[in-house]
Amino acid sequence: MHALHLRVGPISFRVGSAWRSPIAALRLLYAGYPQPDEGIATVTARIGPPMPWRRWIRAQVAIAGDHSLPDTVPMALRHGLLAAEMAMNMQVALGERRYLLLHAAAVERGGKAVILPGESGSGKSTLAALLGESGWRLMADEFVLIDLVSGLARPFPRAISLKNSAIAEMESRIGDPTRFGPHLADTPKGALRHLRPNAEAIARMDEPARPALILFPSFGFDPASDGVSRSELFMRLTEGSTNYVALGQAGFEATLRLAETVPAARFAYPNSATGVAIVEQFCAEAGL
Amino acid sequence: MTARVYRTDFPSHCRTHPIDGLLLVFHRPSGTTHFLDEPVPAMLAELARAPLDAAALCVRLCERIGIAHDEEALAVVEARLAELVASGLVVAS
C-alpha cells in the first residue's frame, strides 16, 4: 500500500492507494502541507481495486476508508487523483463530528469570512479561487467547518477542484504551473484540474475567521441579486450540511447562530468577472 | 368507538426559536428539526396543557381565535394532527 500523510486545517489524513501514481500526484499537489500533529492521522482514506483483478486488468479505482457508502461507482485508474480527493472528501463528509460542515467555499479578509454555499456547478470554487488570488485568503473550496462552540469558521484549504472553463481561466492568472495537478479529461464531472491554494492560504490554515456574510452564487444567469430570509438561510444551510443531523442539537445551535447573526443573499452571474464584482459589492455594502 | 386522544412532549423536550413569524423546533427525542406555522404551535400548546381528542382541541383553538368550531375547522385540525403524528411531535392513542 502506497501512502501519504498530511494535515489540512484541523483534519489529518492518511491516504492509502494500491497504486503508486495517485499518491505521487497527490504528493505533488499537496507539496508544502504540514504533517499530522505528532504523526497521528485522524482520518483514513483509501483507494483500491473494487475486485482483485481490477488492480491490473483495465484498472479501476474504488474509494473507501474509515467510512464508506454503498454503490459508489469505481473510476478509471487515470482518474486516480480525483478518486483520492473524493475518498478524502467522503471521509470528512461522513465522519466529521467536531465541526458543522457546510458544503461551501469560503474566503477571508480582515478576520471576516465570506461563505459561498452551493451545489456543484454554482461556481463557488471558481469564485473562491479567483478571490483567493486577489486580496482574499482562501479558506475552503468544498467544506466550510464551523466550530460548534465559538461559531468561527476553521480553514480547510484543500486543493481547489477546477472544472471545465474555470481551468483555462485560472491557468491564465496563475504563473506557477507547479500549483496545478494533471489535466483530467472525461471525468464524471467533465474536464477537471486541481489547483493548490497559494502559500498564504496554506501558511494560515490554523487561523479561523468570523463568518460575516453568506452568499449563494448561481453561475450562468443574467446578473441579479436578492436577500435571503433568516428562515430560508437556516433551511438552506441544513440542506447543504452533510453532518447536521448527526450533530443533533449542537448542529441546530450552530446553524441557528449563523442564520440569526450573518447577513445572507443570493446572486446570479453570467461570468467570473461579474461574479467577483458582485461579491465585492456585497462586501463593500456589508463593510467588509 | 372512542375518539383518539392526542398528546405531546412539546415544549419540554424541544428547543424552540421564533424566526420570520414561524416557530423553529428542534425535537430532542427524534433529533428532527421542524418549521411550524400557525395553527400548529397553538395546537401543540393546547395539547401540552392536556391530552385532547380532535374535536375538543378544535373547540379550544376556535375559542382562542374567536371563530366558529364547525366541520371545516375540524377537518383542518385533523389534517394538522395527522401531520404532527407523522412527524413524531404528537402521539395518538
Convert the pLDDT of each residue in B56-65 to its tens digit.
Answer: 999 999 998 8
Q: Domain locations in chain B? A: 5-92
Residue A227 in this model has a pLDDT that exceeds 70: yes
Looking at the fold, whether A30 and A152 belong to one and the same domain comes out as no
The answer to whether residues B89 and B25 touch, using CB atoms and an 8 Å cutoff, is yes
Residue A54: pLDDT band with limits 50, 70, 90: confident
| Residues A170 and A253 occupy one common structural domain | yes
Domain containing A15 equals 1-95
Name the residue type at position B11: P
- Comparing CB atoms, the residue among B20, B31, B33 nearest residue A238 is B33
Residue B30 near chain A (CB below 8 Å): no
d(CA A231, CA A228) in angstroms, rounded, equals 8
Of the two residues A52 and B8, the one the predictor is more confident about is B8
Q: Does residue B78 surpass a pLDDT of 70?
A: yes
In 3D, which of A281, A282, A270 has the Cα closest to residue A219? A270
Same domain, A108 and A246: yes
Question: ipTM of this predicted complex?
Answer: 0.89
Mean pLDDT of A3-27: 95
Decide the pairing of beta strands A184-187 and A190-195: antiparallel
Q: Are residues A75 and A195 in the same domain?
A: no
Last residue of a domain, one of A30, A63, A95: A95
- pLDDT at residue B1 tops 80: no
pLDDT recorded at residue B85: 96
Domain boundary among A95, A120, A138: A95
Q: Residue A248 above 70 pLDDT?
A: yes
CATH classification at residue A170 = 3.40.50
Average pLDDT on A176-181 reads 95
- Nearest Cα neighbor of A122 from A142, A107, A99, A146 is A142
What is the greatest pairwise CA distance in chain A? 59
Give the number of C-alpha atoms closer than 13 A to the C-alpha of residue A174, restricted to the C-beta side.
24
Cell of A243: 453532518
Chain A hits for B15, Cβ within 8 Å = 249, 252-253
For residue A51, is pLDDT > 90? Answer: no
User: d(Cα B61, Cα B39) in Å, to the nearest integer?
Assistant: 8
User: Do A35 and A154 share a domain, yes or no?
Assistant: no
Instruction: Reply yes or no: is the peptide bond before residue B11 cis, omega within 30 of 0.
Output: yes
The alpha helices in A50-178, defined as continuous H runs, are 80-95, 124-132, 165-173
Backbone angles phi, psi at A279, to 5 degrees: -60, -45
pLDDT tens digits, one per residue of A260-288? 999 999 999 999 999 999 999 999 999 88
B33 close to A (CB below 8 A): yes
Together in a domain, A191 and A233: yes
Q: Are residues A145 and A75 part of one domain?
A: no
- C-alpha B55/C-alpha B87 separation (Å) is 21
Same domain, A60 and A128: no
Let me know whether A53 and A161 are in one domain.
Answer: no
The Cα A195–Cα A181 span in angstroms is 6
Q: How many domains does chain A have?
A: 2
Pair (A125, A207) in one structural domain: yes
C-alpha B18/C-alpha B36 separation (Å) is 9
Closest C-alpha among A113, A124, A257 to residue B24: A257
The three-state secondary structure class of B24 is strand
* CB-CB neighbors (< 8 A) of A238 in chain B: 33
Amino acid at A272: S
